C-alpha cells in the first residue's frame, strides 16, 4: 500500500490508463514517462513494457523499443504483442531479418491468426527482395555511376510540357520561382530539368570539404533550419517569414530534407536549385535520412519512383553521398545534424579528414555525426535509437573547449516548441517540421545569427495547411501494417 491506501498495482493501472490517453493524444514523451512510473510500481506487467515500446517507436527511439519489447518477452515468452512490438521496431530500423524472426515466432504462437500470417508473408517478401538487391549490389563495384553516364541534354521535353524550364545551362531565380509555384500547385517538374539540377548540385557538393567553414561578414545575418522532412508547404512558409535564400540572406539546412513528409521531391529540388543559384547563399548538411536504407523505408524512394523513375532514385543516392557532414560558422558555432562522438579528443581536423563519399556506416565518426543525440546527464549512454551514442553536457563542453568553439546547433529530434536549449546553453536542437508527420502537434523553429556577436535568435512558427496527401504516403507498406 502507498500513503493514500491505494495498492501499488492499482496505482500502476491508473498510470497505465493515463499513459494510454497521452498516447492517443500523440503526447508520446508524456506516455513514456507515465508507463515508466507504472513499471516502477509493477515491473512484471508485460503490457506496460509493450506499450512503452510502442511509444518509443513513435518517438523514433527504436533501440529503447527493442529493449522494452525484449523485457516483455523475457517476462512471458508467449506474449504475442512483445514479438510484434520488437519486430515493428526492427522494421523501422531496416533490420528486416531480425524482424522476420519475431514475426515467425508470432505465427508459431498464434498459427491460425490471419492477420499474423499476412504480416509474416509481407515480411518474408521484403527479406527476399532485400537479399535479391544485396546480390545485385555485390556485383556492382564496377558499375558506372548514373552521374557519369547520364547526358540530360538528350532527354526530350515534350511540346505538351508547360511547366518551369531551365533555358540553357544556368538555373535562374525566375526558373526557381516558377518551379516553386508549380510545386505549390502540385504539378511536376520535367525529368530533364530534375536530372540537370541533380548533376549541377552534385558537382558543387563534390568540391566541398566534409566540414565546411562559413564566414558571415560584419553585420551579416545567417539562418539555420533543422529537419524539414518533405513538408514543402512549411518550407514555403519559412521563406515567407524569413525571405528567400540569397547571398545576402544565407541559410543552412541541417539535414533530413526528405522522408516521412510526402512532398520530399518538391523540398529537395527547391533546396538543390537554390544551392545551384547561390552556392554561398545556401548550405546543406547531410542527415541520417539522406541515405538509401532510410529512403527505402520512409518514403523518399517510393515518392521518386512515383513522380519520376528508378534512375533518378539512383542519382539522388549518389548526390546524397556528396553532402558535407558539418559546418562551422565564423569559427564559433558547430552545426551538425545529429551530434557528438563515443570518444573524447575528436578535433575539427578529424571531421575534415572523413571520406564521406559513401552510404553512412553503422559506426564511427560519420555515423555519430548523423545519428547521435544529447541527453540530460554526464558522460555517455547507449542511444535510444539503437545507433551511435547519447552524450552528456560534459562531452559537449569538452568538445567545444578542445576546438575553441562557443556553441553546438543540431537537429534530428522533434521538439514540442520547435527547439530545445540544453547542456547549460551550450547546445541547441532546432527542428523545422511543425506538426511532424501530420500528428505530433509540435511547432517548428529556425535560428538567426548576426555577425559578429553570433548570439542565437530563435524564431518559432506553426504548421500551415497542405494538400490532402498524408505523411508517409509513399513509405514502405510494411510500416503501415504494424502501425
Q: Which residues are catalytic?
A: 289
Closest CA to 420 of 388, 395, 454, 445: 445
Q: By C-alpha distance, which of 311, 308, 268, 273 is closest to 197? A: 273
- Own/partner long-range contacts of 11-16 (Cβ < 8 Å, ≥24 apart): 11/41, 12/37, 12/38, 12/39, 12/41, 12/42, 12/45, 12/48, 13/38, 15/41, 16/45, 16/47, 16/48, 16/51
State the Cα–Cα distance between residues 455 and 457, nearest whole angstrom.
Answer: 6
Which among 124, 117, 65, 123 is positioned nearest to 89, based on CA atoms? Answer: 65
Burial class (CB in 10 A: 0-12, 13-18, 19+), 170: exposed
- Per the listing, cell 501530420 goes with 438
Distance in angstroms (rounded) separating the CA atoms of residues 415 and 442:
7
335 half-sphere exposure, CB direction, 13 A CA radius = 32
C-alpha cell at 128: 527476399
Residue 307 phi, psi dihedral angles, 5° rounding: -95, -20
User: H helices within 25-61, ranges in order?
Assistant: 28-41, 46-58
Read off the C-alpha cell for 30.
508524456
107-116 long-range contacts (CB < 8 A, ≥24 apart) are 109/78, 109/80, 109/83, 110/80, 116/80
How many angstroms separate the CA atoms of 283 and 224, rounded?
Answer: 9
DSSP SS3 for 191: helix
Amino acid at each position: 500500500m502507498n500513503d493514500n491506501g491505494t495498492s501499488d498495482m492499482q496505482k500502476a493501472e491508473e498510470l497505465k490508463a493515463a499513459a494510454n490517453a497521452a498516447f492517443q493524444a500523440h503526447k508520446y514523451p508524456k506516455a513514456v514517462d507515465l508507463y515508466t512510473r507504472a513499471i516502477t510500481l509493477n515491473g512484471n506487467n508485460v503490457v506496460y513494457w509493450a506499450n512503452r515500446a510502442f511509444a518509443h517507436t513513435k518517438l523514433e527511439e527504436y533501440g529503447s523499443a527493442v529493449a522494452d519489447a525484449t523485457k516483455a518477452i523475457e517476462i512471458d515468452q508467449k506474449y504475442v504483442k512483445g514479438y510484434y512490438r520488437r519486430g515493428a521496431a526492427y522494421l523501422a530500423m531496416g533490420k528486416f531479418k531480425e524482424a522476420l524472426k519475431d514475426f515467425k515466432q508470432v505465427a508459431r504462437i498464434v498459427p491460425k491468426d490471419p492477420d499474423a500470417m499476412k504480416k509474416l508473408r509481407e515480411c518474408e517478401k521484403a527479406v527476399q527482395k532485400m537479399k535479391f538487391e544485396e546480390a545485385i549490389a555485390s556485383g556492382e563495384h564496377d558499375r558506372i555511376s548514373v552521374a557519369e553516364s547520364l547526358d540530360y541534354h538528350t532527354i526530350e521535353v515534350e511540346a505538351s510540357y508547360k511547366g518551369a524550364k531551365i533555358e540553357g545551362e544556368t538555373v535562374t531565380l525566375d526558373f526557381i520561382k516558377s518551379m516553386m509555384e508549380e510545386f505549390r500547385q502540385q504539378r511536376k517538374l520535367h525529368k530533364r530539368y530534375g536530372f540537370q539540377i541533380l548533376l549541377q548540385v552534385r558537382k558543387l557538393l563534390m568540391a566541398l570539404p566534409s566540414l565546411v567553414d562559413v564566414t558571415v561578414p560584419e553585420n551579416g545575418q545567417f539562418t539555420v533550419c533543422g529537419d524539414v522532412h518533405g513538408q514543402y508547404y512549411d518550407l514555403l512558409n519559412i521563406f515567407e517569414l524569413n525571405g528567400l535564400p540569397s547571398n545576402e540572406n544565407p541559410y543552412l539546412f541541417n539535414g533530413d530534407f526528405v522522408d516521412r513528409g510526402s512532398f520530399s521531391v518538391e523540398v529537395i529540388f527547391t533546396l538543390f536549385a537554390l544551392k545551384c543559384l547561390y552556392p554561398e547563399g545556401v548550405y546543406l548538411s547531410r542527415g541520417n535520412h539522406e541515405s538509401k536504407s532510410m529512403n527505402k523505408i520512409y518514403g523518399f524512394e517510393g515518392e521518386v519512383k512515383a513522380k519520376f523513375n528508378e534512375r533518378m532514385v539512383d542519382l539522388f543516392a549518389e548526390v546524397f553521398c556528396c553532402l558535407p557532414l558539418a559546418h562551422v560558422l565564423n569559427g564559433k558555432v558547430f552545426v551538425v545534424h545529429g551530434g557528438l562522438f563515443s570518444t573524447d579528443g575528436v578535433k575539427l581536423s578529424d571531421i575534415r579528414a572523413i571520406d564521406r563519399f559513401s552510404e553512412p556506416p553503422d559506426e564511427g565518426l560519420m555515423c555519430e555525426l548523423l545519428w547521435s543525440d544529447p541527453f540530460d546527464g554526464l558522460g555517455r549512454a547507449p542511444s535510444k535509437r539503437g545507433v551511435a551514442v547519447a552524450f552528456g553536457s560534459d562531452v559537449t563542453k569538452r568538445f567545444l573547449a578542445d576546438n575553441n568553439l562557443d556553441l553546438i546547433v543540431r537537429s534530428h529530434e522533434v521538439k514540442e516548441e520547435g527547439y530545445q536549449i540544453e547542456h547549460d546553453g551550450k547546445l541547441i536542437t532546432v527542428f523545422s517540421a511543425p506538426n511532424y508527420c501530420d500528428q505530433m502537434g509540435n511547432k517548428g523553429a529556425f535560428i538567426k545569427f548576426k555577425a559578429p556577436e553570433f548570439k542565437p535568435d530563435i524564431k518559432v512558427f506553426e504548421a500551415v495547411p497542405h494538400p490532402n496527401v498524408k505523411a508517409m504516403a509513399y513509405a514502405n507498406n510494411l510500416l503501415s501494417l504494424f502501425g
